[in-house]
Structure 1
Amino acid sequence: MFYSLTVNEVKSLTPNSVAITFSIPSNLNEVFSFTSGQYITIKHIIKNEEIRRAYSISSSPKEKDITVGIKKVTGGIFSEYANSEIKIGDVLEVMPPEGRFVYTPANSKEDICAFAAGSGITPIMSIAKTVLSSHSENTFSLVYGNKSLEETMFYKELVQMLEDYRDRFFIQFVTSRAKEDDCLFGRIDLSNINYIIKNKFDVQGFKSVYLCGPEGMINVVTEVLKSKGVEESSIYHELFTSSEEESSESSVSEGNTSVSIVLDDEIHTFDMNQSATILDAVLEEGLDAPYSCQGGVCSTCIARITEGEAKMEKNQILTDGEINEGLVLTCQAHPTTSSIKVDYDDV
């Protein structure tokens, strides 16, 4: 369900990114409560077309309102609109927070690390604020890559956090297009990661490591961390871009499937071609199923297959255990049996 929220602040972060803050009315405080690392989905009509986009929350759960960072993407309909046209007083339709890339505070001291690139800093901002404010001895170490400091989202806020948490917050900036003082030059690649681990941060001492950014960065950092003895169960990641490559299992047939959809306590039946994704077929039927990115990056469109089978083109979100329980990303799932039952309510 979407709710109408009013924009109460628009702040320029870089020449190509803005922070949009939504005012949360007191009667919606519980609806829009969230855990650090989660995202919201925004729906808006632009040039007579409904656009939905998921954006991670950068503000802390302790803050009154919700802020998201939006980086302009060439050809990105909503990101260009947000960076050029959204103003204070505008009303947008917003879905309550969701997502699994989260940090939950503990009652004891924790040392947390994060690697982020570009707009991948957005959920990390919320996580860092919560880590540092939830326990007086917690530490947070961040590796953050951008083209230049000018293009670094939340740079001023991060510098202020360094001052506020002088002995507990540490940053290594990495810039790929400009050589900056106190920054490593290049990308968050194998050589820079190894240098940081050897000279800056002892990754084996961290309870958890959060990774957010492009898939290539996440894969490289993950492999290095594992080679240094970091347990995979301690590494959490969220993609902000996804590989265009499909697995060898992603081929789909041209057969037909009889579909039964459970959505908002109602059952809808129709036939679909197996070459289409379940979400596309559901939307074609005019049903208001939850979705956002349609690229397998967020988790908004998750549903449970209770009868029949489906195969996903890509999956970077669901665990093997969740897949075995029947969960699928419907934007990536194609039915492979003559009939299938999909339950959006049972997730």
Structure 2
Amino acid sequence: MARFHTLPVTAVDRLTDDSVAVTLAVPEELREQYRHAPGQHLALRRMADGAEIRRTYSICSPAPADGTGPRTLRVGVRLVEGGAFSTYAMKEINVGDELEVMTPAGRFTLDPAPGLYAAVVGGSGITPVLSIVSTLLDRAPKARFCLVRSDRTAASTMFLEEVADLKDRYPERFQLVTVLSREEQQAGLPTGRLDQERLTELLPALLPVADVAGWFLCGPFGLVQEAERALRALDVPRARIHEEIFHVDAGALVAPAASAPAHSTVTARLDGRGGTWPVQDGESLLETVLRNRPDAPYACKGGVCGTCRAFLVSGEVRMDRNFALETEETDAGYVLACQSHPVTERVELDFDR
């Protein structure tokens, strides 16, 4: 099960006016626990004004190839207006500070193998894809990658130098297209907002869409949704499309309310131990479990990060939102505990599967 450990900060690099990269050292005895696949993320935790704050940030550094786990971890943080953790990261974190860091999680990953891969990312959505691209091109000499990234301006582009270095290192295998929505570019380069119509025209002009083994879409909900629609219009199989959403409007795709039983219980298995507790009116199953098992895994509580994923052993639930689980996962019986409410009187979850 995912656990928190205290890791020291070894570097804080300003990327843009509103973003930083934070590097953490991993001690020898914890390296195995922090082994990660390219594209995974970390939940960071801190206390502020007596309240616990958790936020999830993607690892941007390559996954280590030696199988022993990383010596360092690097994450990208973009300032969110009013964001408790991102403001802290931008203004207060210094080298020598210590952060509570959960072991890696997430399924927005790629196992390096020969083939053609592509990504459409927006803003900070570059963060996990940077790890995916750098790991893939290093480990799979016959792999190629096409990256379409959307940003407001050149000055607001995260990891500009790191992506340029990859282009210089792999000029024949890494194709980069940058689209700026609020700034003119050189003649011939696309500008403006990427939507379904533009992507449906742009992508076939860049690469043979049908030959792409895996598509990685990451960024704000609107961009990811438009990119998925474009790919489906281009007859890309759903199984080849992988998504991770970084920002969702508060009212986006809220599920209609379903009738809930007057009295219901949830049985949860977590770290080899189980328990059964009553679900209070209106609370999610995660909230019920946390009242009794504070060690239950979670981060965003918004249906985005997937940290609270659990297997639905029995019963029926309703999810308010789901921006983390792919269709294959929900079909297999997985739910997001933070978004789940009981529909039947008894529900059983397994966080260990």
Query: Taking structure 1 as the reference length, what is the TM-score of the superposition?
Result: 0.93
d(CA) in 2 for partners of 1:254, 1:308: 12
Do the aligned residues in 1 keep the contact of 2:260 with 2:342 (CA within 8 Å)? no
Unaligned stretches of 5+ residues in structure 1: none
Structure 1 residue corresponding to 2:29, chosen from 12, 27, 30:
27
d(CA) in 1 for partners of 2:257, 2:178: 38
Q: How far did residue 47 of structure 1 move?
A: 2.9
2:127 aligned counterpart, secondary structure:
helix
Unaligned stretches of 5+ residues in structure 2: 65-69
Q: How far did residue 194 of structure 1 move?
A: 3.3
Q: How does 1:224-263 map to 2 (within 5 A)?
A: 224-243=230-249, 244-253=251-260, 255-263=262-270
Structure 2 residue corresponding to 1:204, chosen from 193, 210, 218:
210
d(CA) in 1 for partners of 2:237, 2:349: 35
Q: How far did residue 246 of structure 1 move?
A: 3.5
d(CA) in 2 for partners of 1:288, 1:247: 27
Structure 1 residue corresponding to 2:184, chosen from 179, 193, 197:
179
Q: How does 1:273-288 map to 2 (within 5 A)?
A: 273-285=280-292, 287-288=294-295
2:156 aligned counterpart, secondary structure:
coil
Structure 2 residue corresponding to 1:328, chosen from 305, 327, 335:
335
Aligned counterpart, 1:300: 307
Q: How far did residue 100 of structure 1 move?
A: 0.7
Do the aligned residues in 2 keep the contact of 1:257 with 1:274 (CA within 8 Å)? no
Instruction: Give the % identical residues.
Output: 35
1:120 aligns with 2:122: no
d(CA) in 1 for partners of 2:209, 2:119: 10
1:41 aligns with 2:43: yes
In structure 2, give the amino acid aligned to 1:65. T
What root-mean-square deviation, in Å, do the aligned CA atoms of Structure 1 and Structure 2 show? 1.9
Query: Taking structure 2 as the reference length, what is the TM-score of the superposition?
Result: 0.91
1:135 aligns with 2:137: no
Q: How far did residue 300 of structure 1 move?
A: 0.8
d(CA) in 1 for partners of 2:127, 2:143: 20
In structure 2, give the amino acid aligned to 1:55. Y
Structure 2 residue corresponding to 1:67, chosen from 69, 74, 85:
74
1:193 aligned counterpart, secondary structure:
helix
Do the aligned residues in 2 keep the contact of 1:259 with 1:340 (CA within 8 Å)? yes
1:148 aligns with 2:150: no
Do the aligned residues in 2 keep the contact of 1:252 with 1:334 (CA within 8 Å)? no
Q: How far did residue 30 of structure 1 move?
A: 1.0
Q: Which moved more, 1:299-308 or 1:192-201?
A: 192-201
Structure 1 residue corresponding to 2:167, chosen from 145, 162, 165:
162
